[in-house]
Chains A and B, each alone.
Chain A
């Protein structure tokens, strides 16, 4: 069983290495198929391993295995340790399964790009990093995966590196994630100093014995990492810019897998967070604020991918609320369903962008329903699942999170409940604003000029792009049925053992009640979107929702977070660096007045010019003879 997991981990790395080394010796088309094949095998390995895990008795389902010692110094020791349990299995299946589909999709999407091989090498590297993150059994190794997904994300966001905006976005993502990495690293250091180990086994066993301040600080430091990686407040500003990368990258990394790593980390470290209730409350607060803010910003965006990106941020905020409330299973369940419908929406958007020759502005779309019926249908399912319309997947998982807030019942939980429902309204509006602007209303002149001919010649996309979308559509429709309140209980039962201190579980009544309310609100949101955006539309009209200038301006500028960071950190740091370089470094480091050493300079000047006059041999000979003398003395004396 563990052999299969090791194989799943090693294969993508091998794939990336082969693609990198063979490079142009490989046929361009072959690269995509090779990378996809690797992913398929990794998925099959993961699936078999999961089945084997399921066939074990409950108490034997956390398997730990060390391959080799990775790093030691004094009492500090880190092993290359594998941790395979129910949560790992869920993550493995999502990463390899969705990852496989997106690899296949990319074969079509990247066709004709001269850098195809490099793209698939990066993609495989990403999957390896992500798998390392989820199968690691030691926090330091998790941090390694954490950093490597950041690296592959950087490479893929900046994949089209001749575009300055792409490189800027890639660097921004990397630096913000480096801040997160440092937070996570400091948390790990604190845990090691307190517990003497960074292995999960030791951390889980010792978490309960930490005093509450230590546990809280450690948990908050881990949270810094989680917030950065999952693009949550206040380290979220890199995610919208990350849409500069190719669309499959957005689907895989910035929707289905990497950005949910923060949720995984919190769920994984639940024994520690259990000992740190303040940290859990902080997570809920971050989640509620984030889901509302991102939902509101999504209302006014005009780039199709950025709308979906803010939606992702908002949905991950829901997951944060879930794990923050102690309903770890619900957070992971939403992670699971979200991977399907959000990857689907991104890939659908990719089909649209493809048909429009790279156009991403929704103002230049419209009326595509008749031209791209398959895409429309699939994206409609995805959009309904995102809004949480019964019985599609997103509803079950989101309502499970909200119903858990009912079950918890504290004032903060009520805030989360109401905030979450308000977020459902926003979700309804922005999702169907996108759908209506893209697929309904009258075609924009640009779409009319481009789309029909493109679809007539190439169809809605090559089958390598369409089939993954179909499969995800099916998934987005049905995976929610794993956990229907009062009927099926698969997801909760499967994940229950990962939280030794227990998990919050709402009653079936609470869930159905929440579903009733949330679906009504979602439908209301769709109706509002219809009212606002289904009318005839002039492409130059601005996409405003409200009437207040201030609100619109603020939302269009994403609530000024970027400007805040520029003023608070970026500019001061650049100024400081410039001043140090210009005025300070020389006087500080140049304390020895070498310019004034006239005689020395003159003397050296002379000897240097002697060398330059071509008698280098003789000068070197002097040194050589000196050394030979020394050596001789050495040998004589030593002999």
Chain B
């Protein structure tokens, strides 16, 4: 029987094996890809078997460290499953891209990516706070190694920044988790269920800070730019596409259900930060000199918008936020792969030196257009569907909130159009003229295409996702919502 534990252990073991067994370089890469595709299949099976109304499923629960009341407790609900599914897809595409790009030191690259995937699954499935902590902290280690070793020229500084910011956040969270677990009324108990409503404000803020940094929520995004700029395309795709979702997911699935009272009381603050971040990121994205800069700041904007949606504490907000995370994972992963591919072919991502790439490169032009239009949430796209839900939730909360938030959507149109035309249209940049980058083909295309197709599929029938997510996400905000109503 395939359970959530299988989902976690298979990529973990496979990752470790690939890391240490001296396979031939190519073989190691193909093995990693095979495992990653297997995970896509496994998650697809979960999605197929999933019962939306039945709560947490595919779970395991066993004693782990009984002296401390820590249990190996994992299970997936609609929200966790949606994010696990998109994680599997993004990691598979990232590995596929790395394979095409012929990354050196194959064993470490792909082994570490698989290990990251395993830890992400831990985060999305954890039902025990200690297990959650292991995933939340653990996923960063392989990513940091990947950044520190294969990153760009300033990778060292970037690594230090990521470590400093995230360690700062998670250290406090660890203390908070220990406090919560050890002060349980009937002896030590780290299960999430036992922690509901027990935390005080201090504990709440310790969690919130860790999640805000990881998301990243404005103004905790200081580490993002260097990390997204310096890492290799496939690592940037995983970092911004799925690793950041651990933060958003944790807000929705851990913070809000565990601290309903504080979540309702301080919701305004998160809404305000989300709103500011949404506009802030969009404005900054508009002035970035290169593709990665645009995508990075748009990611800050989008994740801030997600946090805004979560703290509206109603059905449309939480479902919309989950959906938005899935969409953003697909969009930003695909865009980072594409931007990285462009850099590798043209030698730079600088807008002033690119341009005119659409000419005689129909596949690149089509893929970039589809992704760009999805990113700017053209009505009818899946991103539009999720943004519409969050806007609806915001508008229902207060009309002015929805109205201000809608400004960010116009700004998104402006910066994405700028990206599209700076890359594809107008006069050829000097690099394009000199290096004659080819059209997007073979491995690179195969790595980006599944993400684009997933976006198109979700545009045709977004309800296939929202119907599965909605009961779970409503459950998560139910406590805080009741608290908010009572206020």
Residues of A within 8 A of B (CB): 20, 23-24, 68-76, 118, 129, 132, 140, 143-148, 150-151, 154-155, 158, 161-162, 164, 167, 171, 174-175, 178-179, 181-182, 185-186, 189-190, 192-193, 573-574, 576-578, 580-581, 585, 588-592, 594, 597, 600-601, 604-605, 608, 611-612, 616-617, 619-621, 623-624, 627-628, 630-631, 633-634, 637-638
The verdict on B111 contacting chain A, using a C-beta distance below 8 Å, is yes
Q: Nearest-CB distance from A26 to chain B (Å)?
A: 12
- Contact (Cβ within 8 A) B470 A623: no
Give the number of A-B contacts (CB < 8 Å). Answer: 230
- Contact (Cβ within 8 A) B417 A171: yes
Contact partners of B63 in chain A: CB under 8 A: 637-638
Asked, given contacts A171-B417, A612-B149, whether A144 binds B366 with beta carbons under 8 Å apart, the answer is no
Asked, given contacts A161-B426, A576-B283, whether A617 binds B380 with beta carbons under 8 Å apart, the answer is no
Q: Nearest-CB distance from A179 to chain B (Å)?
A: 6
Please measure, in the bound complex, the distance between the C-alpha atom of A185 and the C-alpha atom of B390, giving whole angstroms: 12
- Contact (Cβ within 8 A) B389 A76: yes
- Give the residue of B222, B388, B427, B466 whose beta carbon is less than 8 angstroms from that of A72: B466
Please measure, in the bound complex, the distance between the C-alpha atom of A164 and the C-alpha atom of B355, giving whole angstroms: 11
Please measure, in the bound complex, the distance between the C-alpha atom of A169 and the C-alpha atom of B475, giving whole angstroms: 47
- Give the residue of A604, A612, A637 whose beta carbon is less than 8 angstroms from that of B163: A604
Given A574-B287, A633-B64, A637-B63, 6 additional A-B pairs, CB 8 A:
A72-B470, A73-B470, A75-B315, A190-B395, A577-B287, A624-B111
- Give the residue of A72, A76, A594 whose beta carbon is less than 8 angstroms from that of B165: A594
Chain B stretch 20-52: residues in CB contact (< 8 A) with chain A: 20
- Give the residue of A151, A600, A627 whose beta carbon is less than 8 angstroms from that of B164: A600
Contact partners of B219 in chain A: CB under 8 A: 588-589, 591
- Most A CB contacts (10 A, CB to CB) among B141, B168, B219 go to B219
* 20 A–B contacts, CB within 8 A, in A order: A20-B366, A71-B385, A71-B389, A75-B315, A155-B369, A175-B410, A175-B413, A178-B410, A179-B410, A185-B388, A193-B395, A573-B283, A574-B286, A577-B284, A581-B288, A591-B222, A604-B148, A611-B145, A620-B19, A624-B16
- Contact (Cβ within 8 A) B380 A145: yes
Please measure, in the bound complex, the distance between the C-alpha atom of A399 and the C-alpha atom of B107, giving whole angstroms: 78
Please measure, in the bound complex, the distance between the C-alpha atom of A638 and the C-alpha atom of B9, giving whole angstroms: 13
- Contact (Cβ within 8 A) A162 B9: no
Please measure, in the bound complex, the distance between the C-alpha atom of A580 and the C-alpha atom of B156, giving whole angstroms: 26
Nearest to B134 among chain A residues (CB) is A630
- Most B CB contacts (10 A, CB to CB) among A23, A189, A574, A611 go to A189
The verdict on B112 contacting chain A, using a C-beta distance below 8 Å, is yes
Nearest to B318 among chain A residues (CB) is A73
- Contact (Cβ within 8 A) A628 B461: no
Asked, given contacts A167-B426, A581-B287, whether A73 binds B410 with beta carbons under 8 Å apart, the answer is no
- Contact (Cβ within 8 A) A628 B16: yes
Q: Nearest-CB distance from A233 to chain B (Å)?
A: 19
Contact partners of A146 in chain B: CB under 8 A: 379
Please measure, in the bound complex, the distance between the C-alpha atom of A592 and the C-alpha atom of B274, giving whole angstroms: 20
- Contact (Cβ within 8 A) B362 A118: yes
Contact partners of B316 in chain A: CB under 8 A: 73-74, 76
Please measure, in the bound complex, the distance between the C-alpha atom of A69 and the C-alpha atom of B107, giving whole angstroms: 45
Nearest to B138 among chain A residues (CB) is A627
The verdict on B373 contacting chain A, using a C-beta distance below 8 Å, is yes
Please measure, in the bound complex, the distance between the C-alpha atom of A601 and the C-alpha atom of B161, giving whole angstroms: 9
The verdict on B124 contacting chain A, using a C-beta distance below 8 Å, is no
- Contact (Cβ within 8 A) A189 B392: yes
- Contact (Cβ within 8 A) B64 A71: no
In the complex, the 3 A-B pairs of residues with the closest C-beta atoms, listed nearest first: A147-B379, A74-B315, A144-B380
Nearest to B131 among chain A residues (CB) is A634
Q: B351-385 vs A: 1/0 string, CB under 8 Å?
A: 00000101100100010010001001011100011
Contact partners of A161 in chain B: CB under 8 A: 358, 421, 424-426
The verdict on B97 contacting chain A, using a C-beta distance below 8 Å, is no
- Contact (Cβ within 8 A) B399 A162: no
- Contact (Cβ within 8 A) B396 A193: yes
The verdict on B441 contacting chain A, using a C-beta distance below 8 Å, is no
Asked, given contacts A76-B389, A591-B222, whether A144 binds B384 with beta carbons under 8 Å apart, the answer is yes
Q: B79-109 vs A: 1/0 string, CB under 8 Å?
A: 0000000000000000000000000010110
Asked, given contacts A148-B380, A611-B148, whether A577 binds B64 with beta carbons under 8 Å apart, the answer is no
- Contact (Cβ within 8 A) B379 A148: yes
- Contact (Cβ within 8 A) B410 A182: yes
Asked, given contacts A147-B378, A577-B287, whether A616 binds B108 with beta carbons under 8 Å apart, the answer is yes
Q: Nearest-CB distance from B126 to chain A (Å)?
A: 13
Please measure, in the bound complex, the distance between the C-alpha atom of A178 and the C-alpha atom of B373, giving whole angstroms: 12
**Dominant secondary structure at the A interface:** helix
- Contact (Cβ within 8 A) B402 A620: no
Please measure, in the bound complex, the distance between the C-alpha atom of A634 and the C-alpha atom of B135, giving whole angstroms: 13
The verdict on B319 contacting chain A, using a C-beta distance below 8 Å, is yes
- Contact (Cβ within 8 A) A148 B467: no
Q: B58-90 vs A: 1/0 string, CB under 8 Å?
A: 001011111000001000000000000000000
The verdict on B320 contacting chain A, using a C-beta distance below 8 Å, is yes
Nearest to A607 among chain B residues (CB) is B148
Please measure, in the bound complex, the distance between the C-alpha atom of A506 and the C-alpha atom of B131, giving whole angstroms: 76
Q: Nearest-CB distance from A21 to chain B (Å)?
A: 9
Q: Nearest-CB distance from A524 to chain B (Å)?
A: 44
- Contact (Cβ within 8 A) B20 A189: no
- Contact (Cβ within 8 A) A162 B156: no
Q: Nearest-CB distance from B246 to chain A (Å)?
A: 18
Please measure, in the bound complex, the distance between the C-alpha atom of A631 and the C-alpha atom of B149, giving whole angstroms: 25
Nearest to A189 among chain B residues (CB) is B395
- Give the residue of B111, B218, B427 whose beta carbon is less than 8 angstroms from that of A620: B111
The verdict on B341 contacting chain A, using a C-beta distance below 8 Å, is no
Contact partners of A175 in chain B: CB under 8 A: 410, 413-414, 417
The verdict on B403 contacting chain A, using a C-beta distance below 8 Å, is yes
Please measure, in the bound complex, the distance between the C-alpha atom of A482 and the C-alpha atom of B332, giving whole angstroms: 54
- Contact (Cβ within 8 A) A178 B409: yes
- Contact (Cβ within 8 A) B19 A73: no
Q: Nearest-CB distance from B274 to chain A (Å)?
A: 15
The verdict on B13 contacting chain A, using a C-beta distance below 8 Å, is yes
Please measure, in the bound complex, the distance between the C-alpha atom of A623 and the C-alpha atom of B5, giving whole angstroms: 20
- Contact (Cβ within 8 A) A72 B467: yes
Please measure, in the bound complex, the distance between the C-alpha atom of A162 and the C-alpha atom of B463, giving whole angstroms: 39
Contact partners of B421 in chain A: CB under 8 A: 158, 161, 167, 171
The verdict on B220 contacting chain A, using a C-beta distance below 8 Å, is yes
Q: Nearest-CB distance from B233 to chain A (Å)?
A: 20
Nearest to B373 among chain A residues (CB) is A151
Please measure, in the bound complex, the distance between the C-alpha atom of A620 and the C-alpha atom of B141, giving whole angstroms: 10
Contact partners of B155 in chain A: CB under 8 A: 608
Q: Nearest-CB distance from B387 to chain A (Å)?
A: 9
Q: Nearest-CB distance from B424 to chain A (Å)?
A: 7
- Contact (Cβ within 8 A) B72 A638: yes
- Contact (Cβ within 8 A) A73 B395: no
- Contact (Cβ within 8 A) A186 B402: yes
- Contact (Cβ within 8 A) B105 A597: no
Chain B stretch 280-299: residues in CB contact (< 8 A) with chain A: 280, 283-284, 286-288
- Most A CB contacts (10 A, CB to CB) among B66, B366, B413, B421 go to B413
Please measure, in the bound complex, the distance between the C-alpha atom of A614 and the C-alpha atom of B224, giving whole angstroms: 27
Please measure, in the bound complex, the distance between the C-alpha atom of A72 and the C-alpha atom of B5, giving whole angstroms: 31
Contact partners of B388 in chain A: CB under 8 A: 71, 140, 185
- Contact (Cβ within 8 A) A73 B148: no
Q: Nearest-CB distance from A218 to chain B (Å)?
A: 11
Please measure, in the bound complex, the distance between the C-alpha atom of A172 and the C-alpha atom of B112, giving whole angstroms: 45
The verdict on B210 contacting chain A, using a C-beta distance below 8 Å, is no
Nearest to B164 among chain A residues (CB) is A594
Nearest to A626 among chain B residues (CB) is B141
- Contact (Cβ within 8 A) A147 B20: no
Q: Nearest-CB distance from A432 to chain B (Å)?
A: 38
- Give the residue of B9, B156, B356, B379 whose beta carbon is less than 8 angstroms from that of A608: B156
Contact partners of B447 in chain A: CB under 8 A: none
Contact partners of A154 in chain B: CB under 8 A: 417
- Contact (Cβ within 8 A) A71 B149: no
- Contact (Cβ within 8 A) B391 A185: yes
Contact partners of A171 in chain B: CB under 8 A: 417-418, 421
Please measure, in the bound complex, the distance between the C-alpha atom of A185 and the C-alpha atom of B427, giving whole angstroms: 35
